[in-house]
Amino acid sequence: MHNSPRPYRIIISGGGTGGHIYPAVAIANQIKTVNPAAEILFVGAKGRMEMTRVPDAGYKIIGLWISGLQRRLTLDNLSFPLKVASSIRASYKIIKDFKPDAVVGVGGYASGPLLYAATARRIPSLIQEQNSYAGITNKLLAKRVDKVCVAYPGMENFFPSDKLVLTGNPVRSDIMESHLKRNEALAHFNLNEAKKTILVIGGSLGARTINQSIAAGLDQLVAAGYQIIWQTGKTYFPEAEKLAATKTEAGIRAFDFIKRMDLAYSVADIVISRAGALSISELCLAGKAVILVPSPNVAEDHQTKNAMALVQQHAAILVRDADASQQLINKALALAEDEAEQKILAGNITRMAKPNAAAEIVNELLKLIK
């Protein structure tokens, strides 16, 4: 690794969802590994998830007054030009005060103004795109920045090919050792080691269709002898908690949010999940047989595109959101019974893992500073 002579000063900008925040924090942690005295400042959007999650991870964050453009005419849209102007002004000031050696954008509203200002000042800059379908902010910034780190091949459709580096998505390091923690996980979730376990994850915000399908099929799953770790998100949790309380003996465990995802993966025989870019990167590293139910409510339907990148390699099973109430339970039961298919899927998804993503991104960043 580089033995850097001085502490680097880096700004990391973006957020909006867990899918943007976790990679940003993983990049920050990796910078600290390589350059322990580095000064890192995050810039996010006021009122969004990053304003609490980033300080929880031990980093300082400044919020910009920025939001996305709504698809319909709203008051928010009328104030949008004002917010952009105000955020670019604030970004110039942040850059002048902090004097960064380089800036990183991870997608999300706040990365637009900050990287616009940084590139105007010719500060070395890099963006990281998590999805197989580029977000609008990153597409606009790509012409201005020095490097674009991507998680999927074939991104020349969106970005200048001479700037592209295929690194994968940075994932929390504890996921990488998840396969070693089965006994700890059985104790943590109070599960029966003789039974098979299905892990259900709806992403950081929860997934209504998945939750409703699981609720409707709970008796079938219990009758077939499976135990379930069920992350519902906040909204659906009260209902899931009631259902789980009547089936504690059968090993049904409901959570609004699972802090120890490493343990959840380690004990799972099969996984049912949304197809957010970060979830997919974690599933590749955990090496599990997975059924993906892409969220239909995301821009450009990019979750379906993420899922198809795996399905084409026989590395996952796809159930469309519209078909989940009809098909999800039957597909889950069929996969849970079929150990040969589980092995094939797990082997194929593991081959798509990029365990060194954070290190590769930070290497690219340090090359720009040099």
Q: What is the mean pLDDT of residues 200-218?
A: 86
pLDDT digits (tens, 9 = 90+) for 339-369: 999 999 999 999 999 889 999 999 999 999 9
Calpha distance 188→29 (Å, rounded): 26
Position 297 scores a pLDDT of: 79
Its domain, for residue 59, covers 9-169+355-369
280 and 264 belong to one structural domain = yes
Annotated binding residues: 17-19, 131, 172, 204, 258, 303
Polymer length in residues for the chain: 370
- Cα separations (Å) of 334 from 99, 291, 307, 312? 57, 11, 20, 20
**Mean pLDDT (the chain, rounded):** 90
* Total domains, the chain: 2
Residue positions forming the annotated binding site for UDP-N-acetyl-alpha-D-glucosamine: 17-19, 131, 172, 204, 258, 303
119 and 212, same domain (yes or no): no
Over residues 226-239, mean pLDDT: 92
The verdict on residue 47 lying in a domain is yes
207 and 184 housed in the same domain = yes
Mean pLDDT for 8-18 is: 87
Write the pLDDT tens digit of every residue in 75-111. Answer: 666 677 788 888 999 999 999 999 999 999 998 888 9
Same domain, yes or no: 303 and 177: yes
Residues 222 and 325 in one domain: yes
20 and 158 inside one domain: yes
Q: Which of 169, 131, 44, 145 is nearest to 305 (CA)?
A: 131
Q: How far is CA 236 from the centre of its chain?
A: 21
Of the pLDDT bands very low, low, confident and very high (cuts 50, 70, 90), residue 219 is very high
pLDDT of residue 184: 94
Both 71 and 211 in one domain: the answer is no
- Mean pLDDT of the 179-187 span: 90
Over residues 165-193, mean pLDDT: 89
Q: What share of the chain is helix, strand, coil (3-state, %, to 5)?
A: 50, 15, 35
| Amino acid at site 341 | E
Is residue 156 domain-shared with residue 222, that is, in the same domain?
no
**262 in a structural domain:** yes
Give the per-residue pLDDT at 82. Answer: 82
Q: Report yes or no on 80 lying in a domain.
A: yes
Looking up tokens 């720009």 gives: 368
**Are 271 and 288 contacting, i.e. CB atoms less than 8 angstroms apart?**
yes
Residue 203's pLDDT band, with cuts at 50, 70 and 90, is low
Structure confidence at residue 341 (pLDDT) = 97
Q: Is residue 145 within 8 Å of residue 123, measured between CB atoms?
A: no
Measured CA distances, 19 to 16, 68, 303 (Å) = 8, 16, 12
Query: Across 80-84, 190-194, 255-259, which has the greatest mean pLDDT?
Result: 190-194
pTM of the model: 0.81
Q: Are residues 127 and 248 in the same domain?
A: no
pLDDT of residue 5: 62
The mean per-residue pLDDT over the stretch 140-149 comes to 95
CA–CA gap between residue 47 and residue 38 (Å, rounded): 27
Amino acid at 213: S
CATH number of the domain where residue 265 is located: 3.40.50.2000
Least reliable range by pLDDT among 48-62, 108-122, 297-311: 297-311
Amino acid at 217: G
Please check whether residue 3 lies inside any domain of the structure.
no
Whole-number percent of the chain with pLDDT over 70:
94
Together in a domain, 62 and 103: yes
Q: Are residues 310 and 193 in the same domain?
A: yes
Instruction: Examine the domain organization and report whether 156 and 217 are in the same domain.
Output: no
pLDDT of residue 283 exceeding 60, the answer is yes
Position 1 in a domain:
no
Residue 2 forms part of a structural domain: no
Mean local confidence (pLDDT), 324-333: 96
Model confidence at 290: pLDDT above 90: yes
pLDDT given for residue 70 in this prediction: 53
